[in-house]
Amino acid sequence: MVKTILVIEDEAQTREIFLRCLQFENFKGIGAENGSTGVRLATKHQPDLVVCDIMMPDMDGYAVLSSLQQNNATASIPFIFLTAKVTMADLRQGMTLGADDYLTKPCTVEDFLDAIASRLKRQEDLKRGLQTALPPSPDTQSQKATTAETIFPDCPRLTAVFEFIEAHYQQSINLTDVAQAVGYSPAYLTNLSQSHTGRTVKAWIIERRMAQARQLLASTAESIKQIADSIGYADASYFTRQFRKLHGVTPQVWRSQPNR
């Protein structure tokens, strides 16, 4: 099924370049020269995604997003901001309103199309009710579910992020891996996580690994190297340093404490 993309951009040349790219990639592109026209076209055509410039004369991108969010018919449409520069204030304001991502001008055609593809894929996953987490084995399902529920907060905007971490924390993953999996740019995801939880994605990965490390230290006789390997640390010394930084003692000492 052909996807419809609405591009709201007051610069005619930029708008036409994007529309031609979309057509070449077999999308149905709709162009709007200003914000008010964009809102009208979004309501009329119900596009699969909106790409919108922030700085426009009649109605800026924030006003466009706010208007779409207030309409039940358009509130769930993925929305990507297009802007010449992104400040922390821009990111916070966009996240508060419900933006899905940012593209910084000038951006390449590849960046433009990649951002659209990522958001559409994520939207399809949500519609199908898919989860990024891998299904746990029967003997660890209850144990893992309890641990995950204890570690991660209830935050709908970050559900996919926490699911991905839960599925892959035992591997050598980082911020970029998580961002690519859930369809956000690394910078946007960093600010999203910080603003909603007060912690970075890296901190949540570490926290999940440490929760599993504590469980293994308390319930198994596995060596420190074996535990480190099993939770995504190729270097046991680095795992030990990180564990000590968070807990004040080494894994060996923590394991020996009677009231851990």
Residue 30 and residue 7 in contact, taking contact as beta carbons nearer than 8 Å = yes
In this structure, the number of other CB atoms found within 10 A of the CB of residue 31 comes to 18
Reading phi first (left if > 0) and then psi (alpha if -120 to 50, else beta), residue 46 is in left
6 or 184, which is more confident? 6
**At how many degrees (to 10) do helices 88-97 and 61-69 cross?**
20
Instruction: Name the percent of the chain lying above pLDDT 70.
Output: 89
pLDDT of 99: 81
Question: Does residue 112 surpass a pLDDT of 70?
Answer: yes
* Confidence label for 260 from pLDDT (cuts 50, 70 and 90): low
Q: Of 6-10, 27-31, 98-102, 152-156, give the lowest mean pLDDT range.
A: 98-102
Q: What is the pLDDT confidence band of residue 131, given thresholds at 50, 70 and 90?
A: very low
pLDDT band per the 50, 70, 90 thresholds, residue 139: very low
Please choose, from the candidates 51, 64, 61, 58, the residue with its C-alpha nearest in 3D space to the C-alpha of residue 7.
Answer: 51
pLDDT attached to residue 144: 47
For 4-128, the fitting CATH number among 3.50.50.60, 3.30.465.10, 3.40.50.2300, 3.20.20.70 is 3.40.50.2300
To the question of domain 141-256 being in CATH 1.10.10.60, the answer is yes
Calpha distance 195→46 (Å, rounded): 30
Each residue's pLDDT tens digit, 192-204: 888 888 899 999 9
Domain edges within the chain: 4-128, 141-256
Reported confidence tier of residue 136, pLDDT bands at 50, 70, 90: very low
| C-alpha distances in Å from residue 50, one per residue of 63, 74, 92, 114, 224 | 14, 10, 19, 14, 49
The span from the first CA to the last CA of the chain, in angstroms, equals 56
pLDDT of residue 258: 76
pLDDT at 133: 39
